[in-house]
Homo-oligomer: A and B are copies of this chain.
Amino acid sequence: MNIELLLQHISKHISLTNEEEEILKSFLHSKKIKKKHFLLQEGEVNKTATFVTSGLLRIYSIDKNGFEHILQFAPPGWWIGDMKSVLTQQPATLNIDAIEDTEIIWISKEDLEKLYAAVPKFERFFRILAENSIASHQQRLVNNLSLSAAERYNNFCQLYPSLIQNLPQKQVASYIGVTPEFLSKMLSNLSEKK
């Protein structure tokens, strides 16, 4: 289990004693997910908090016509989950799968509550994490409501320069909310204009 990235990430927001670090570790598990395999499927309950240490996950919904809509990518150092399912422990409406071979660290919902009880600092950590996530969601919403497809694409490239290298174009299309055909046309227009 590559716990270094997680500890580093945590230390940006709270500092842990050795003892607290040990308590944390006692609750953690790791798991590998092969490319194209699922971490969570619509209908299952999302019972864990998930932190990516290597590879790449995506979380997406499938609409009534079978089209996928990607809410978020999770490269190393990111958390991912169907928050409604985690909170209510009802079946998820979102899917999480691996775009590349991926390794995660996870903690069960019950153990997370135990961790909060044992080391209340983690309430703070996850509060800060959640607040940052809200800030991103607000920005994403603004972008989706006010920008054109080309502007959303440029924005994505600026925000995730390293992601854009390795991602299949159709995944980017699904994230910014256009069809792969339209994105393809858009990009060829952009490049010939230069």
The number of chain A residues with a CB under 8 A from chain B is 35
Q: Are B141 and A134 in contact (CB under 8 A)?
A: no
Q: Is A145 interfacial (CB-CB < 8 Å)?
A: yes
* Copies of this chain, tallied across the complex: 2
The stretch of A20-28, A81-89, A100-108, A186-194 that contacts the partner chain: A81-89
Q: Given A83-B138, A138-B83, does the pair A69, B145 have CB atoms closer than 8 Å?
A: yes
Q: Are A69 and B127 in contact (CB under 8 A)?
A: no
Query: Which residues of B sit under 8 angstroms from A144, Cβ to Cβ?
Result: 141, 144-145, 177
Q: Given A63-B146, A142-B61, does the pair A130, B134 have CB atoms closer than 8 Å?
A: yes
Q: Are A137 and B137 in contact (CB under 8 A)?
A: yes
Query: Which residues of B sit under 8 angstroms from A135, Cβ to Cβ?
Result: 83-84, 87
Q: Is A94 interfacial (CB-CB < 8 Å)?
A: yes
| Least CB separation from A67: chain B residue | B146
Q: Are B83 and A131 in contact (CB under 8 A)?
A: yes
Q: Are A141 and B140 in contact (CB under 8 A)?
A: yes
4 further A-B contacts with Cβ under 8 Å, apart from A61-B145, A120-B123, A123-B127, are: A61-B142, A69-B142, A71-B141, A130-B133
The 6 closest A-B pairs by CB, nearest first: A130-B130, A137-B137, A127-B127, A63-B146, A69-B145, A83-B135
